[in-house]
Amino acid sequence: MNKISFGISILDSILKEGYPKQSLVLLVGEGGIGKSVFLMLIAKHRLELGEPVLFVCLDNDPLAIIESFKSFGFEVDKYTEKNLLGFIDCYSFKVSAIYRKNLSYVLGIADPKNLNQLAKTIVEAMSRLSVGKGGCLLLDSLNEIFLYNDLTRVSDFLKEVRYIVIRHYGASFFATIHVGLSKWEELRSMIEHLADGVIEFRFEPSLSEAGVSVRQVRVKKMRAVPHDSNWYSFHITKEGIVPLKVKIRVSGEIQEKRDDDKS
Protein backbone atom coordinates (compact mmCIF):
# COMPACT_ATOMS: atom_id res chain seq x y z
CA MET A 1 0.00 0.00 0.00
CA ASN A 2 1.38 3.39 -1.04
CA LYS A 3 1.58 5.62 2.04
CA ILE A 4 2.56 9.23 2.57
CA SER A 5 3.12 11.56 5.52
CA PHE A 6 0.96 14.58 6.31
CA GLY A 7 3.92 16.92 6.66
CA ILE A 8 2.42 18.02 10.01
CA SER A 9 4.51 16.85 12.96
CA ILE A 10 1.65 16.18 15.38
CA LEU A 11 -0.13 13.90 12.87
CA ASP A 12 3.06 12.27 11.64
CA SER A 13 3.93 11.34 15.24
CA ILE A 14 0.56 9.59 15.55
CA LEU A 15 0.71 7.92 12.13
CA LYS A 16 4.35 6.96 12.01
CA GLU A 17 3.85 4.84 8.88
CA GLY A 18 1.91 7.60 7.12
CA TYR A 19 -1.59 7.25 5.71
CA PRO A 20 -2.80 5.50 2.53
CA LYS A 21 -2.23 7.86 -0.38
CA GLN A 22 -5.41 6.72 -2.13
CA SER A 23 -7.92 7.53 0.58
CA LEU A 24 -10.74 9.83 1.66
CA VAL A 25 -9.94 11.54 4.95
CA LEU A 26 -12.47 13.68 6.84
CA LEU A 27 -11.44 16.49 9.18
CA VAL A 28 -14.26 16.89 11.71
CA GLY A 29 -14.70 19.52 14.41
CA GLU A 30 -16.14 22.84 15.49
CA GLY A 31 -15.82 25.87 13.27
CA GLY A 32 -12.71 27.97 13.95
CA ILE A 33 -10.74 25.16 15.56
CA GLY A 34 -8.10 24.92 12.83
CA LYS A 35 -9.29 22.36 10.26
CA SER A 36 -8.66 24.73 7.34
CA VAL A 37 -5.12 25.38 8.59
CA PHE A 38 -4.46 21.64 8.57
CA LEU A 39 -5.81 21.52 5.00
CA MET A 40 -3.43 24.28 3.92
CA LEU A 41 -0.46 22.54 5.51
CA ILE A 42 -1.39 19.25 3.83
CA ALA A 43 -1.58 21.12 0.51
CA LYS A 44 1.78 22.79 1.20
CA HIS A 45 3.45 19.43 1.85
CA ARG A 46 2.08 17.85 -1.34
CA LEU A 47 3.00 20.86 -3.46
CA GLU A 48 6.55 20.81 -2.11
CA LEU A 49 6.70 17.17 -3.23
CA GLY A 50 5.81 18.37 -6.73
CA GLU A 51 2.27 16.97 -6.63
CA PRO A 52 -0.78 18.89 -7.93
CA VAL A 53 -3.45 20.15 -5.53
CA LEU A 54 -7.05 21.08 -6.36
CA PHE A 55 -8.93 23.16 -3.75
CA VAL A 56 -12.75 23.24 -3.84
CA CYS A 57 -13.66 26.50 -2.07
CA LEU A 58 -17.06 26.57 -0.38
CA ASP A 59 -16.46 28.48 2.87
CA ASN A 60 -14.31 31.21 1.32
CA ASP A 61 -13.20 32.54 -2.05
CA PRO A 62 -9.92 31.43 -3.71
CA LEU A 63 -8.19 34.79 -3.26
CA ALA A 64 -8.79 34.69 0.50
CA ILE A 65 -7.32 31.19 0.64
CA ILE A 66 -4.24 32.33 -1.31
CA GLU A 67 -3.83 35.15 1.22
CA SER A 68 -4.15 32.64 4.08
CA PHE A 69 -1.37 30.54 2.54
CA LYS A 70 0.84 33.61 2.42
CA SER A 71 0.01 34.57 6.01
CA PHE A 72 1.77 31.35 7.05
CA GLY A 73 4.80 32.31 4.97
CA PHE A 74 4.03 29.98 2.08
CA GLU A 75 4.45 31.67 -1.28
CA VAL A 76 2.16 29.80 -3.63
CA ASP A 77 2.62 31.90 -6.77
CA LYS A 78 5.23 29.57 -8.24
CA TYR A 79 2.82 26.65 -7.87
CA THR A 80 -0.10 28.43 -9.51
CA GLU A 81 2.23 29.52 -12.33
CA LYS A 82 3.38 25.91 -12.83
CA ASN A 83 -0.26 24.75 -12.88
CA LEU A 84 0.25 22.65 -9.78
CA LEU A 85 -2.28 24.51 -7.62
CA GLY A 86 -5.82 25.22 -8.82
CA PHE A 87 -9.17 26.20 -7.33
CA ILE A 88 -12.84 25.60 -7.98
CA ASP A 89 -14.85 28.57 -6.77
CA CYS A 90 -18.14 27.51 -5.17
CA TYR A 91 -18.22 30.61 -2.98
CA SER A 92 -18.91 33.46 -5.40
CA PHE A 93 -21.16 31.58 -7.81
CA LYS A 94 -24.01 34.01 -7.06
CA VAL A 95 -21.92 37.07 -7.94
CA SER A 96 -22.12 38.44 -11.47
CA ALA A 97 -19.08 37.67 -13.60
CA ILE A 98 -18.32 41.38 -13.98
CA TYR A 99 -17.53 41.56 -10.25
CA ARG A 100 -15.30 38.49 -10.17
CA LYS A 101 -11.56 38.83 -10.51
CA ASN A 102 -10.10 36.96 -13.46
CA LEU A 103 -7.70 34.64 -11.67
CA SER A 104 -5.71 32.17 -13.75
CA TYR A 105 -5.66 29.60 -10.95
CA VAL A 106 -9.48 29.45 -10.73
CA LEU A 107 -10.18 26.48 -12.98
CA GLY A 108 -13.94 26.50 -12.62
CA ILE A 109 -16.94 28.06 -10.91
CA ALA A 110 -19.70 25.77 -9.66
CA ASP A 111 -23.02 26.08 -7.89
CA PRO A 112 -23.12 23.86 -4.76
CA LYS A 113 -26.84 23.35 -5.38
CA ASN A 114 -25.97 21.46 -8.57
CA LEU A 115 -23.86 18.49 -7.50
CA ASN A 116 -23.78 16.96 -10.99
CA GLN A 117 -22.23 20.17 -12.28
CA LEU A 118 -19.80 20.31 -9.36
CA ALA A 119 -18.64 16.71 -9.91
CA LYS A 120 -18.12 17.44 -13.62
CA THR A 121 -16.17 20.63 -12.81
CA ILE A 122 -13.92 18.69 -10.41
CA VAL A 123 -13.13 16.07 -13.07
CA GLU A 124 -12.34 18.73 -15.69
CA ALA A 125 -10.11 20.66 -13.27
CA MET A 126 -8.22 17.54 -12.20
CA SER A 127 -7.56 16.75 -15.85
CA ARG A 128 -6.19 20.26 -16.41
CA LEU A 129 -3.87 19.85 -13.41
CA SER A 130 -2.73 16.46 -14.75
CA VAL A 131 -3.57 14.78 -11.45
CA GLY A 132 -2.62 11.11 -11.50
CA LYS A 133 -0.96 8.70 -9.06
CA GLY A 134 -0.35 11.63 -6.74
CA GLY A 135 -1.73 14.95 -5.69
CA CYS A 136 -4.90 15.62 -3.76
CA LEU A 137 -8.35 17.16 -3.77
CA LEU A 138 -9.28 19.41 -0.83
CA LEU A 139 -12.92 20.32 -0.14
CA ASP A 140 -13.76 22.92 2.52
CA SER A 141 -16.50 22.30 3.65
CA LEU A 142 -19.20 19.64 3.15
CA ASN A 143 -21.56 21.72 5.31
CA GLU A 144 -22.09 24.24 2.51
CA ILE A 145 -23.09 21.43 0.16
CA PHE A 146 -25.43 19.97 2.78
CA LEU A 147 -27.19 23.34 3.14
CA TYR A 148 -28.46 23.09 -0.44
CA ASN A 149 -28.96 19.32 -0.84
CA ASP A 150 -30.55 16.45 1.04
CA LEU A 151 -28.31 14.03 2.90
CA THR A 152 -28.77 11.15 0.46
CA ARG A 153 -27.68 13.30 -2.47
CA VAL A 154 -24.64 14.53 -0.54
CA SER A 155 -23.69 10.93 0.23
CA ASP A 156 -24.07 9.92 -3.44
CA PHE A 157 -21.98 12.91 -4.54
CA LEU A 158 -19.23 12.01 -2.07
CA LYS A 159 -19.19 8.38 -3.25
CA GLU A 160 -18.97 9.49 -6.87
CA VAL A 161 -16.15 11.98 -6.31
CA ARG A 162 -14.32 9.56 -4.01
CA TYR A 163 -14.34 6.87 -6.71
CA ILE A 164 -13.07 9.27 -9.38
CA VAL A 165 -10.35 10.84 -7.22
CA ILE A 166 -9.07 7.64 -5.60
CA ARG A 167 -9.69 4.91 -8.16
CA HIS A 168 -9.24 6.79 -11.42
CA TYR A 169 -6.64 9.40 -10.46
CA GLY A 170 -4.92 7.58 -7.60
CA ALA A 171 -5.03 10.76 -5.52
CA SER A 172 -5.97 11.70 -1.95
CA PHE A 173 -9.29 13.32 -1.04
CA PHE A 174 -9.67 15.52 2.06
CA ALA A 175 -12.92 17.14 3.19
CA THR A 176 -13.92 19.12 6.28
CA ILE A 177 -17.12 18.92 8.31
CA HIS A 178 -18.07 21.56 10.88
CA VAL A 179 -19.96 20.11 13.85
CA GLY A 180 -21.55 21.53 16.98
CA LEU A 181 -25.18 21.79 15.87
CA SER A 182 -27.56 18.81 15.82
CA LYS A 183 -28.17 19.06 12.07
CA TRP A 184 -24.42 18.72 11.42
CA GLU A 185 -24.27 15.59 13.59
CA GLU A 186 -26.68 13.96 11.13
CA LEU A 187 -24.29 14.80 8.29
CA ARG A 188 -21.36 13.47 10.30
CA SER A 189 -22.99 10.16 11.19
CA MET A 190 -24.01 9.54 7.57
CA ILE A 191 -20.67 10.49 6.00
CA GLU A 192 -18.03 9.12 8.41
CA HIS A 193 -18.58 5.49 7.41
CA LEU A 194 -17.67 6.38 3.80
CA ALA A 195 -14.24 7.65 4.81
CA ASP A 196 -10.97 5.75 5.00
CA GLY A 197 -9.80 8.08 7.75
CA VAL A 198 -11.39 10.45 10.27
CA ILE A 199 -9.41 13.14 12.10
CA GLU A 200 -11.31 14.80 14.95
CA PHE A 201 -10.77 18.20 16.53
CA ARG A 202 -12.08 19.60 19.81
CA PHE A 203 -11.40 22.14 22.54
CA GLU A 204 -10.07 20.39 25.68
CA PRO A 205 -13.29 19.90 27.73
CA SER A 206 -12.08 20.53 31.29
CA LEU A 207 -10.27 23.71 30.27
CA SER A 208 -13.21 24.90 28.18
CA GLU A 209 -15.36 24.79 31.32
CA ALA A 210 -12.84 27.16 32.91
CA GLY A 211 -13.03 29.50 29.91
CA VAL A 212 -9.67 28.44 28.43
CA SER A 213 -9.53 27.27 24.80
CA VAL A 214 -6.94 24.60 24.05
CA ARG A 215 -7.19 22.90 20.68
CA GLN A 216 -6.82 19.13 20.44
CA VAL A 217 -6.67 16.61 17.61
CA ARG A 218 -6.90 12.84 17.37
CA VAL A 219 -7.02 10.22 14.64
CA LYS A 220 -10.36 8.49 15.18
CA LYS A 221 -9.77 5.99 12.40
CA MET A 222 -7.35 5.34 9.54
CA ARG A 223 -7.71 2.36 7.27
CA ALA A 224 -4.92 -0.25 7.39
CA VAL A 225 -2.58 1.97 9.44
CA PRO A 226 -1.63 1.44 13.11
CA HIS A 227 -2.25 4.47 15.32
CA ASP A 228 -3.47 5.47 18.76
CA SER A 229 -6.70 7.37 19.28
CA ASN A 230 -5.59 9.69 22.08
CA TRP A 231 -6.14 13.44 22.05
CA TYR A 232 -3.10 15.65 21.41
CA SER A 233 -3.00 19.37 22.18
CA PHE A 234 -1.69 21.86 19.66
CA HIS A 235 -1.25 25.57 19.05
CA ILE A 236 -1.48 27.49 15.77
CA THR A 237 1.36 29.93 15.07
CA LYS A 238 2.71 31.68 11.98
CA GLU A 239 5.04 28.70 11.60
CA GLY A 240 2.07 26.32 11.48
CA ILE A 241 0.93 23.66 13.95
CA VAL A 242 2.94 23.38 17.17
CA PRO A 243 2.41 20.47 19.65
CA LEU A 244 1.43 21.76 23.08
CA LYS A 245 1.82 20.41 26.61
CA VAL A 246 -0.93 21.49 28.97
CA LYS A 247 -0.68 21.80 32.74
CA ILE A 248 -3.89 21.73 34.77
CA ARG A 249 -4.10 22.65 38.46
CA VAL A 250 -6.32 20.16 40.30
CA SER A 251 -6.94 20.47 44.07
CA GLY A 252 -3.86 22.65 44.50
CA GLU A 253 -1.55 20.31 42.58
CA ILE A 254 -0.12 20.61 39.09
CA GLN A 255 -0.88 17.66 36.86
CA GLU A 256 0.91 17.64 33.55
CA LYS A 257 -1.04 16.23 30.62
CA ARG A 258 1.68 14.81 28.47
CA ASP A 259 1.26 14.17 24.78
CA ASP A 260 1.33 10.42 25.34
CA ASP A 261 -1.33 10.45 28.09
CA LYS A 262 -4.75 9.07 27.33
CA SER A 263 -7.60 11.57 27.38
Range 3-257: architecture per CATH: 3-Layer(aba) Sandwich (3.40)
CA–CA distance, 157 with 165 (Å, rounded to integer): 12
Q: Which of 172, 196, 217 is nearest to 13 (CA)?
A: 217
Check: pTM over 0.75? Answer yes or no: yes
CA–CA distance, 126 with 132 (Å, rounded to integer): 9
Give the pLDDT score at 182.
75
pLDDT (tens place) for every residue of the chain, 263 residues total: 799 999 999 999 999 999 999 999 999 999 999 999 999 999 999 999 999 999 999 999 999 999 999 999 999 999 999 999 999 999 988 787 666 778 899 999 999 999 999 999 999 999 999 887 789 999 999 999 999 999 999 999 999 999 999 999 999 999 999 998 777 888 888 899 999 999 999 999 999 888 899 999 999 999 999 999 999 999 999 989 999 987 766 554 444 554 544 44
CA–CA distance, 102 with 113 (Å, rounded to integer): 23
Please give the backbone phi and psi of residue 216, each rounded to the nearest 5 degrees, phi first: -135, 155
Domain limits, the chain: 3-257
